[in-house]
Structure 1
Amino acid sequence: MPTKIILSSLILCIILLAACQEEEVETSTPSVTDSLPTASPSVVTLDAKVFDEGGVVLSGELITDGSISDYGFIFSADSIFDEYSDNLIFLEDPPKLGRFEASILSSLRGETTYFFRAFIKFGEETIYGETKKFESSGSRCPIISRIAPEQGHLEDTIQLFGKYFGTSTYSSSTHVTFSNQYSRIISIDDSVITCVVPETIVEHQHRVTVTSMGKSAAIPFSLYSPLIELIEPASATFGDTLKLFGQHLDHVAERNTIMLGNAKAEIVTSQRNSLEFIVPDELAENIPSLQLTSQLQTVNAPASFSIILPEIVNAPECSNAYEEITLEGNYFHPVSHQNRVFIEGVKAEVLSGTTQQLIVRVPFGPFPNGSGRIDIGVTDTVVTTEQQICIQDPWLMISNSLPFSFYGDVGTFTINNRVFVVSDPEDYQDQNLYLWEFDEETISWTKETIPFNVQHSGTCVGNGSKGYVYTATSTDNFWEYDPATTTWTQKPDFPGARRDKPTSFSVNGNVYVGLGTDFEPYFEVDYFDFYKFDASLNQWIKVSDFPNDPYTRGRTEASTFVIDQAAYVVGGARTTGSYSAWKYQPSEDQWVSIADFPDARNYTSAFSLDGKGYIANGSPVGGGERKECWEYNPASNTWSPFFDIGHKSRFRGFAFVINGTAYVGGGSGGRYDDLTEYELYKLRK
């Protein structure tokens, strides 16, 4: 008994002693036993399960437990792993002993050998399992569940939601395209891609395609349609800046286009809800249609704007044709030739100008009333103004649309203030000659058919009551026209040799025909003989020959005028020395020389007015045309320059006087585009 008590007491003392020593250890230097390291956890790489439809499940096992911060797998197409560049898969579930798995359904290439191993992170240390490999069947096909937003603008940021997209923003294994244009990917994970609508796309509707590891999925996407709401101001002029308000406009000015009719406007600034543009100088319509192309779509404005119409506030009272005048006003086109100025409906040439001033050349005419209203137009609109200008030209063009083309044709004759012209029609395919009667009041012409053959080289003349035509044919070559009955009567043939372009005139009711040249023989034949047709006797009588200058050739298509029962023959020159002029006195059957004409000239026109004779236009021997007119004063036997006829030279025209007014027309200006043969001028009284 005492022995058991002693033993028990001894054990109790040992326990108390140990407790005291343990308490001291907590406040003193640690023991060697407590400083020994704890055993590290370990991991094993198990296997890989490959799916035919793509993807793989990797398996590993945690053998021993410990303070594990991360765990998972690393895999690579190379057996030399690099945790900074290869694919790391971290598992989110808390680590626990036993088997763990990771599914890889994207970022895998097909028919590729991959190496993988499990790993755990223990403190600063990474512990790997054994390296194994598998043959990949590729990734799962991407699935897109939605796109947000479903509509957008160029360069907008959008998001694609789904799965199997891949995991690397910088990897080339996944890309997004809009049709065939690549999108810039901002970020990507296996279920969300954030990317940018490419500015290079060319259509507004697309299939947005996600392609990962060669497999693709697509979803529709479209750009917003632009909307035009308002254009301000409602009226403007060229070069003004207008503002268009709307929605879904492109914020990059160069990607917007505004067409005003067929003219392209310059876009100055652009925002999503407005843009500014300049009214182009090339605008062709006063109220142009406005077409906007933005976001790769074209829309029409429900309402456009209008061009402010020009106005003329000051113009000269009078001017000559072809003279430069200055028009002052507002809202003229800044490009001078885009302004259209009309004087009495005839387009004037705009030489220069600004938006407030135009320098204009007055047109030749016609100005049948001697004045004209000035109208101005820009784009497709002509503004009728109240501005009038008088035309001061002594010779006034009253028509430029004669229904016949007179170029050295048979000629004219006057009967009781009725004027007739023998000429061919405007239609060049019609080779016939017609009789045209002039209506002075309406400046119009009436055509009659000539019932016999007449050549262009014939001549005609009136004796006051009838008209007579020499046809320049060998037979049946002289005819009489009665205006009262509009009938033709054949008269005795001209007794002289057949000839071209003879000269004719009438004094005291008798008709005289002479001179001319026969152009049919190989060697031309000039004639100087003259004959009188006495209408009362219906017969021809030989009269004195025209004076023959042995040093010059004959006269062809010479001009004549009659003053005080005497005829004057001028021109028709065929050589440089033929500038003499002659007076024929029927009462004495005598030719008298008068003052020489200023030059040797042919193809002139002639008329007499108020006791004086006039020679118009023509061509000097040696070539060239003239617009001048010469006046002959029989009292002083002198030639004086008269007013030029119009502003274009011409020859082989015609002239006549009716009701005390002289007219000159037709002829050629020497250029195919002069069209002088269709013009008619009137001498102002």
Structure 2
Amino acid sequence: MKFQKLFLYTSLAITLFACSENDGPDIRVDAVRSSRVEILADGGARFFGEIIQEKGLTEHGFMYTQDTNVWNLAQRKISLGTPEGKGEFSAAVLSGIQDQQKYYFRAYGESASGMFYGKIISFFSNGSVAPQISRVDPTKGHLNETIKIVGTNLGISRESTALYFDQQPIETFTAQDSVITTVIPPNLTSAKFVIRAVVYGKAVEYPYELATPEINKISPLTATFREEVIIEGAHFGDQPSENEVYFGEVPAQVIGAERNKLIVIVPDDLDIAKSKITVKAQRQTVISEEFFEIKAPIIESYDECMDTYQMIEIFGSNFHPISHKNMVLLEGVEAEVMDVYPDKLYAMVPQGPFPRGKMTVEVIVAGASTKGQTDVCIKDEWLLISTTLPFAYYGGPGTFVVNNKAYVFAVGKNDFQKLYMWEFNPTNLSWKKHELPFELSHFGNTASTGNKGYLYTANDRNEVWEFDGISWKERARFIGPYRVNSSMFAIGQKVYLGMGMRDNTSYQDFYSYESTSNQWKPIAQPLAAGRIKAVTFVIDGKAYITDGASNTGEVDMMRYDPADTWTRMADQAYARLYSVGFALNGKGYTAIGSSVVGSGSPESHVYDPQTNTWSHGPPVGHKGRYRGFAFVLNGEAYIGGGAAETNYINEGVEYDLLKWVKK
């Protein structure tokens, strides 16, 4: 009997030794007992215990820890509630334990009188069960929105769990084993990404994406700059900074944002009338199906008549609030917009060209165009009609009119070496280039008898050529000394040539040419000093010579009578060189030119032979010029070419003494 008892006690001791490390006896072995631990193959562990005495117990379960001095961690307590009776009980811990780490567990019971514990049993873990994600709420999210990642074994703290969106670590979240709560970060780079939870080294991935923004309605669809436009839809960022809105490719300011509505301002930089609206939100781009349209400018009224280089005041609305973003076209010519208000804008009327003597008014804002209902008449007496001369005229041989056709002798616009004859078409303001059958100097001169034109070549051969409107014919050579910058005119069928200069010698002599006899002969000399670049005009069968210079500018004027007499006439107010002259409606005109050492002038002067007086005429445009050309065709005077300082002007102007020329 004694041997049997000894064997029983010995066997019990061996069993207890195998299940524990003898960390201590049961405090209340009659209440609960820690039995054993089972290490699960896929991770985690299952604890077993036994209820010895269930009476009075209100709760039972297990506690586990890595430090036997610390047992009060709530997340490491497994409560199984009130026991239903005596016997074995168990519970599994699937997460929250690390691989190859030593842990301790014990069973516990609780009653009104206190806690009861089983013995402490140790074990080595093979880690937790791999985490699982079953869903994410909401199904599709938004930047800066809270989401819940629902699953199992997701960890119990940031110490156990790491969270990533693609490769981006998420620093702020809470983990409660079955749910991770976090906020979608605003700096995500893609709308589609993978949520990855790593719990004690074991990872789970779940594909996720942001909700796609939608544009359902834009109101209004037509607006003007700096007005508000409302975009209704879904899945926008709920802060203005979370949304980008574009009109076409132009960014717009977002001043209000909700999930289903954006409020934006029509951007100043929009430069097209129609554009689709693009919204970039939730790292995605959506484009409206409908077009947004800038309101066309409204023109209500403007001035009836204007001088050029004055401000035209255009009343209306829907103008761009920035001056230079409004385009004003006057007869198709862009005018500089000087100022703008909500109900009007101001633009500087350009010099032209205005070949009709009036101008249309058009306002263009971001490609949206509105034209005025009436034309504006131009009050300038000298009217710019063209800016596209195909030649460059800078003090060339001159012009003549033959059989009601005007011709100018000038070099090509891109060929300054060779002189051509350019035929003018006043109907469409075009020019036709003709080759010359002879060499012509830039210092030659011209005259016309009406049905024939004469050209002095101003070279050492002293050639004179006659043009009948169809062909050229060489005539008798000039009998005077070869000269440059001479004066030349015609009275009736006779041609006169004189003055000019050669080798710093000024000539005072004059000669006449009779076409019927094809002969030159000298005539009386003018009662004035020789000079270069004098201008001439013929009124009532008498020729007038004025302007030009010898050593200094000349102010005197001489009249030649075909009876071969010269008469000193009224002087001009001051001397000018490189001016032009012509006769129109019984009066003589000189215009443009410069002082001998001065710059170009736009002035014109009118000579009345009835009173032998000079008066000021209207300025020729707004640019000072000299070395230009002039001719009268069909009762209309034209001045063009010349230079302002050192630049070619390339302008043609049309003149009528009292009123605009009807076209």
TM-score, normalising length from structure 2?
0.84
How many pairs does the alignment contain?
Answer: 627
Select the residue among 57, 61, 72 that pairs with 2:62. 72
Whether the 8 Å CA contact 2:236–2:261 is kept in 1: the answer is yes
Matched, 1:503 2:484: no
Partner of 1:295: 282
SS state of the match for residue 275, structure 2? coil
- Partner Cα distance (2:96, 2:443) in 1: 101
Select the residue among 643, 656, 662 that pairs with 1:683. 656
* Greater Cα offset, 118-127 or 95-104: 95-104
SS state of the match for residue 316, structure 2? strand
Partner of 2:182: 195
* Residue identity matched to 1:566: K
* Residue identity matched to 2:439: N
Whether the 8 Å CA contact 2:506–2:550 is kept in 1: the answer is no
- Partner Cα distance (1:476, 1:139) in 2: 117
* Alignment deviations for residues 286-339 of structure 1 (CA, whole Å, 9 cap, x no partner): 232222222222222111333332232222222211222322223333333333
- Partner Cα distance (2:498, 2:347) in 1: 49
Q: How does 1:53-202 map to 2 (within 5 A)?
A: 55-57=43-45, 69-76=59-66, 79=67, 81-83=69-71, 88-92=76-80, 103-109=92-98, 113-118=101-106, 120=108, 122=110, 123-125=113-115, 127=117, 129-130=119-120, 132=122, 134=124, 138-168=127-157, 171-183=158-170, 187-202=174-189
Residues 499, 94 of structure 1: alpha-carbon distance in 2 compared, 3 angstrom cutoff: farther
SS state of the match for residue 333, structure 1? coil
Partner of 1:475: 461
- Partner Cα distance (1:144, 1:157) in 2: 17
* Residue identity matched to 1:540: W
Partner of 1:265: 252
Deviation, 1:48, is 7.9
SS state of the match for residue 254, structure 1? helix
- Partner Cα distance (1:104, 1:572) in 2: 116
- Partner Cα distance (1:150, 1:524) in 2: 99
Matched, 1:537 2:524: no
Deviation, 1:655, is 1.0
TM-score, normalising length from structure 1?
0.82
Q: How does 1:517-666 map to 2 (within 5 A)?
A: 517-518=501-502, 526-543=506-523, 555-573=531-549, 575=551, 577-585=552-560, 587=562, 589=564, 591-666=566-641
- Partner Cα distance (1:85, 1:559) in 2: 115
Residues 124, 467 of structure 1: alpha-carbon distance in 2 compared, 3 angstrom cutoff: farther
Partner of 2:642: 667
Select the residue among 401, 420, 423 that pairs with 1:437. 423
Residues 192, 464 of structure 1: alpha-carbon distance in 2 compared, 3 angstrom cutoff: same
* Residue identity matched to 2:535: S
Deviation, 1:172, is 4.2
Partner of 1:416: 403
- Partner Cα distance (2:268, 2:159) in 1: 50
Whether the 8 Å CA contact 2:35–2:48 is kept in 1: the answer is yes
* Alignment deviations for residues 78-122 of structure 1 (CA, whole Å, 9 cap, x no partner): x47434569624253777989876655434455x64453436355
SS state of the match for residue 250, structure 1? coil
Q: CA RMSD in A?
A: 3.4
Residues 183, 535 of structure 1: alpha-carbon distance in 2 compared, 3 angstrom cutoff: same
Deviation, 1:45, is 8.8
- Partner Cα distance (1:331, 1:349) in 2: 18
Whether the 8 Å CA contact 1:253–1:270 is kept in 2: the answer is yes
SS state of the match for residue 342, structure 2? coil
Matched, 1:245 2:232: yes
SS state of the match for residue 301, structure 1? strand
* Greater Cα offset, 177-186 or 196-205: 177-186
Partner of 2:473: 489
Deviation, 1:265, is 2.5
Partner of 2:10: none
- Partner Cα distance (1:84, 1:477) in 2: 126
Deviation, 1:156, is 3.0
* Residue identity matched to 2:62: G
Residues 44, 311 of structure 1: alpha-carbon distance in 2 compared, 3 angstrom cutoff: closer
Deviation, 1:644, is 0.7
- Partner Cα distance (1:166, 1:125) in 2: 28
Select the residue among 364, 389, 410 that pairs with 2:376. 389
Residues 464, 648 of structure 1: alpha-carbon distance in 2 compared, 3 angstrom cutoff: same
Whether the 8 Å CA contact 2:60–2:81 is kept in 1: the answer is no
- Partner Cα distance (1:479, 1:38) in 2: 143
* Residue identity matched to 1:463: T
Whether the 8 Å CA contact 2:294–2:368 is kept in 1: the answer is no
Deviation, 1:137, is 5.5
Partner of 2:14: none
- Partner Cα distance (2:532, 2:71) in 1: 115
* Residue identity matched to 2:153: Y
Residues 151, 47 of structure 1: alpha-carbon distance in 2 compared, 3 angstrom cutoff: closer
SS state of the match for residue 412, structure 2? coil
Residues 559, 194 of structure 1: alpha-carbon distance in 2 compared, 3 angstrom cutoff: same
Aligned-residue identity in percent: 33
Residues 626, 214 of structure 1: alpha-carbon distance in 2 compared, 3 angstrom cutoff: farther
Partner of 2:298: 311
Deviation, 1:59, is 5.3
SS state of the match for residue 337, structure 1? helix
Residues 322, 164 of structure 1: alpha-carbon distance in 2 compared, 3 angstrom cutoff: same
Residues 38, 604 of structure 1: alpha-carbon distance in 2 compared, 3 angstrom cutoff: closer
Select the residue among 312, 326, 340 that pairs with 2:313. 326
- Partner Cα distance (2:53, 2:504) in 1: 136
* Greater Cα offset, 442-451 or 182-191: 182-191
Partner of 1:17: none
Partner of 2:19: none
Whether the 8 Å CA contact 1:74–1:86 is kept in 2: the answer is no
- Partner Cα distance (1:190, 1:87) in 2: 10
Greater radius of gyration (CA): 1
Deviation, 1:605, is 1.3
Partner of 2:333: 346
- Partner Cα distance (1:642, 1:282) in 2: 47
Deviation, 1:654, is 1.0
Residues 639, 126 of structure 1: alpha-carbon distance in 2 compared, 3 angstrom cutoff: farther
Whether the 8 Å CA contact 2:243–2:281 is kept in 1: the answer is yes
* Residue identity matched to 2:406: V
SS state of the match for residue 303, structure 1? strand
Partner of 1:34: none
Q: How does 1:454-469 map to 2 (within 5 A)?
A: 454-469=440-455
Whether the 8 Å CA contact 1:396–1:683 is kept in 2: the answer is no
* Residue identity matched to 1:275: L
SS state of the match for residue 419, structure 1? strand
Deviation, 1:371, is 2.0
